[in-house]
Chain A
Amino acid sequence: MKPFAYVRATTLEEAADAYAAHPGSRYLAGGTNLVDLMKLGIEAPGALIDISRLPMEEIGELPGGGLRVGANVRNSDLAADPRVRERYPLLSQALLSGASGQLRNVATTGGNLLQRTRCGYFQDLSKPCNKREPGSGCGAREGIHRDHAVLGHSEQCIATQPSDMAVALAALDAEVELYGGGGTTRTVAVTEFHRLPGDHPEQDTVIRPGEIITAVVLPAAAPGAVSLYRKARERTSYAFALASVAVLLDLDDGRVRRVALAFGGLAHRPWRATTAEARLTGAAPQPDTVRAAVEAELAQARPLRDNAYKVPLARNLACQAIAALAHSAGPVP
């Protein structure tokens, strides 16, 4: 780890100013991923601007029943919040299926969205990685890639986004609030926040240099809608997803009024399954119908040499989750 200066910001303006004053600096919130990466030499900021004490720790009610989750709300507190458990159980489930109790106590909502891939080549400075060092190549493509992407990857990068929370947020159509300095703010849909790697795998997200995530906004939950997050992993706990699925299902008289389906562990971003959703909307969620819709989505998959298992895994997870939700929501005609 290289020496760095430390600046504790007390306001957003101060933080943005400090960022501008220290080229190559990084914001520090929970630090559970940033400090990890600094030790590995992947991140070597000249300064850390501590935003962990900014007043962004509230979960506030929004008109119409949504919630505004401050960026510094810790993962454990978000998962335990009674309103989140009641209205967005998939979000609680996703958070609780990630990391460990002690990591969730520290990791923040904003930081979770910005956590970087756990690709072993990205994490090893002695190996090529286009995400870490554009143009150096991709060690994983022909290397050890059982955990890597099957959807939306590029020649340059096959890494996956590791967050469970982000998958649930993608299914929830949440939005990310960003502060850009000088009083400027903007809002980005979570589904648009993470990028596909394309020719610029070094950019995980659409966040701009110096921007700060201030909050995540959860739209009001539809009355009667049910939701579920399910994750498959090598270890029963404390392991990243091989594949995961977040489903939000709203049935109207046994037919799908609205479904949101997002996959984790398959791509460089939470994969919102719009093809499957379109096929299911208006249909009765019979097993064959669901399977066909999910398979239509996964037909886009381009598995690598050693990760083809992710396709049936994701399909099964989605089919089972939708079936379980349909069952809990009432009889299917």
Chain B
Amino acid sequence: MSPTSTTLDTTTSVLGAPVPRREGREKVTGAARYAAEQHLPRRAHAWPVPATVARGRVTAVDTAAALALPGVLGVLTPYDAPRLGPSDDPTLQLLQDLRVPHRGWYVALAIADTLEQARAAADAVRVTYEAEPHDVTLREGHPGLYTPEQANGGYPAHREQGDPDAAFAAAPVRVDVVYSVPPLHNHAMEPHAATADWDAGSGHLTVYDSCQGTTVVRSVLAGLFELPEDRITVLSEHVGGGFGSKGTPRPHVVLAVMATRHCGRPVTLALPRQHMAAVVGHRAPTLHHVRLGARPDGTLTSLTHEVTTHTSQIREFVEQAAVPARVMYAAPDNRTTHRVTALDVPTPSWMRAPGETPGMYALESAMDELADALGMDPVELRVRNDAATEPDSGRPFSSRHLVECLRDGARRFGWPGRRPPRHEGPLLIGAGVAAATYPVYIAPAGARAHARPDGSYLVEVNATDIGTGARTVLSQIAADALGVPLDSVSVAIGNSSLPAGPVAGGSTGTASWGWAVHDACSALTDRLAGHHGPLPAAGLSASADTTQSAKQKSPYARHAFGAHFAEVQADTVTGEVRVRRLLGVFAAGHILNPRTARSQLVGGMVMGLGMALTEHSALDPAFGDFAERDLAAYHVPANADVPAIEAHWIDEHDKHLNPMGSKGIGEIGIVGTAAAIGNAVCQATGRRFRELPLTPDRVLAALEGEPTTAAGAAG
């Protein structure tokens, strides 16, 4: 199955080998089937209807014209949609009441024989509203701001040590700055889609879902549709990306199940791209107030990072953007805090490295400003402030090789230190650096390993491969634990009937599923060692469940670290900024598959490049929705935006993680990238930009004005 695996010394080096993706052939031949591509007999199609007011109530839904169209099987509305059971996530309580909490909220669902008919029916549904005044604009001083108990991830919203204000006031060198990161959208290439098939005869529900984990989808559907979990099967063999936006069930899957139960036929619902900005989550906008106080030698004495963000009217989600400041640098007096206000906006959610991504943009930009104020090499400033223990908790790090990443990166990149920027005609060229960090999370998982009499092995774990290479790396972990050739191991994932596994999110997948796979395979190895003679026809099996081990509190602070180096050019004619080079060095434990790991790290850096230069969503104050709702308006980077990117890593041995010694790598690639690029733009242009992205309008306006680097940055 994997072309080069037979050439590997599988018994000793399979873990850490650059094994090609197991599903590579399926993906390049078009044979890989995604959620909307399940051709079940009599399949129908559904198309949802979004609300066109930002706040208010539905007062009537006229479905007559829609129902009169050919092929229409039904239109569900808040008046007649089936009542749902409870769920923790109010965004899934669809068509349950008349309230419209934000523009784009679904208010009806059309179901028809064909895609064209379903769409036409949705267009023909007439909804009237009682609109109320809305407010979608986040700003400092918003009267609705409050400090929540927790930010996303369960982190306390507010932490304070010492007297950061006094320490800041007393600091000889100060940086007091404000940054702004706009709303961002995940926009995985595969729109959220589900094919749901309710078999009324057997009472079984089968759902093919584009999601990051089918165990949780099954559990949520069981609650909403009041079915026992063993009567639901959720499948996700292939998923076209998620980046957090498919981490929990989203509206599409609930509506697809409603539809199949309504019409008694399999139903596919694939979200139109234009709907996605409103219904599958976004990275909330964040305003950052960062104050750094330092001694003349660069040693931080005070650090405050205060984050202001929004959430929706229906669910509190607080982007934990001040949390990385609790990990990065030792400042004895510090405060990290979050404030949030509920606006009439779509519900924000996870987007690749929530918290770290915007938080480290702000913190690492501020560190660059401090280096400027000190006249110090920003690499050296970070080395100077490396922390021996985790600043917030005082716990020792299980491993922390930030300094090594910075040094190695500087060497590989040819870091110019504080050399002046270069010019090439109208182009200004500069370089920038920023650090990265991402926590090590781990979640309980189960796995089953099975030895067959023919010498092959089957490993079952409900992992999901959203493009990470999970299927491949889990087979490596299994082959390693079993001590058998990789080709003899097959791995079954993406099916809720398999031993339960957590979502592919939070960079936890490999560690969580892999630990269970490792344990199951180790147990099977023991069983096989004790077995004499040929295997029984049914083979031998062993299972594992890591609930105990994964939930054990570690005495260590466990994080991955990294350093980004960027070279950019800014065009003084147009204000266009392009990245010329991007290089990252990461310390993320044992890299189990360099080929797929490099792809993930580079991919994260590309998304960070987009955040720095091209990606932004704006909430339209008048209409209350995101102005950028398609891929022509929301600029994810195109091929031509992306230069050759290098991702390297430190060979890190950390015994305090999991049996594989791995840290997650799905997210750290994006953390800090935008800061490195922004810092490079500052070095190139002599202007400090504090609002992302660095689009031509902003850059040109600054270039046409006076230099701003020194002014306002340092106190």
Which residues of A line the B interface, CB within 8 A? 1-3, 39-41, 118, 120, 124, 126-127, 139, 142-144, 146, 232-240, 242, 307-310, 312-313, 316-317, 320
What 1/0 flags go to B220-249 for Cβ under 8 Å of A?
000000000000000000000000000000
User: When A and B form their complex, which 5 residue pairs have the shortest distance between CB atoms, in order from nearest?
Assistant: A237-B640, A126-B52, A309-B697, A144-B627, A232-B574
The secondary structure that dominates the B interface is: loop
Interface residues of B in 555-589 (CB under 8 A from A): 572-576, 578
- Taking CB atoms, residues of chain B closer than 8 Å to A41 are 123
- Taking CB atoms, residues of chain B closer than 8 Å to A307 are 697
Which residues of B line the A interface, CB within 8 A? 52, 116, 119-120, 123, 274, 426, 572-576, 578, 613-614, 618, 620-623, 627-629, 632-633, 635, 637-641, 695-698, 700-701, 704
Cβ contact within 8 Å between A235 and B635: yes
- Taking CB atoms, residues of chain A closer than 8 Å to B641 are 235-237
Cβ contact within 8 Å between A234 and B614: yes
- Taking CB atoms, residues of chain A closer than 8 Å to B116 are 1
A/B interface sample: 19 pairs, CB < 8 A? A120-B628, A120-B633, A126-B52, A139-B622, A143-B620, A233-B576, A234-B614, A234-B635, A235-B641, A237-B640, A238-B638, A238-B640, A242-B696, A309-B696, A309-B698, A309-B701, A313-B697, A317-B573, A320-B573
- The contact of B638 among A40, A146, A236, A312, by CB within 8 Å, is A236
Separation in Å of the B115 CB from the closest CB of chain A?
10
> CA–CA, A124 to B637, complex, Å?
24
Cβ contact within 8 Å between B640 and A143: no
- Taking CB atoms, residues of chain A closer than 8 Å to B621 are 143
Q: How many residue pairs bridge A and B at CB < 8 Å?
A: 91
Cβ contact within 8 Å between A239 and B635: yes
> CA–CA, A148 to B239, complex, Å?
37
- Taking CB atoms, residues of chain B closer than 8 Å to A143 are 620-623, 627
- Taking CB atoms, residues of chain B closer than 8 Å to A139 are 622-623
Cβ contact within 8 Å between B638 and A237: yes
Complex: chain A residue closest to B425, CB-CB: A320
- Taking CB atoms, residues of chain A closer than 8 Å to B635 are 234-235, 239
Complex: chain B residue closest to A239, CB-CB: B635
> CA–CA, A144 to B623, complex, Å?
10
Separation in Å of the B119 CB from the closest CB of chain A?
6
When A2-B120, A235-B638, A320-B573 are in contact, do A309 and B623 touch as well, CB less than 8 Å? no
- The contact of A120 among B123, B613, B627, by CB within 8 Å, is B627
Separation in Å of the A101 CB from the closest CB of chain B?
11
> CA–CA, A32 to B16, complex, Å?
47
When A1-B120, A235-B614, A316-B574 are in contact, do A146 and B629 touch as well, CB less than 8 Å? no
Complex: chain B residue closest to A99, CB-CB: B632
Cβ contact within 8 Å between B623 and A127: yes
> CA–CA, A312 to B572, complex, Å?
11
Cβ contact within 8 Å between B696 and A313: yes
Separation in Å of the A303 CB from the closest CB of chain B?
11
Separation in Å of the A147 CB from the closest CB of chain B?
9
Cβ contact within 8 Å between B576 and A320: no
> CA–CA, A317 to B576, complex, Å?
12
Separation in Å of the B612 CB from the closest CB of chain A?
12
- Taking CB atoms, residues of chain A closer than 8 Å to B627 are 120, 143-144
Separation in Å of the A260 CB from the closest CB of chain B?
20
- Taking CB atoms, residues of chain B closer than 8 Å to A239 are 632, 635, 638
**Most A C-beta atoms less than 10 A away, residue of B120, B573, B637:** B573
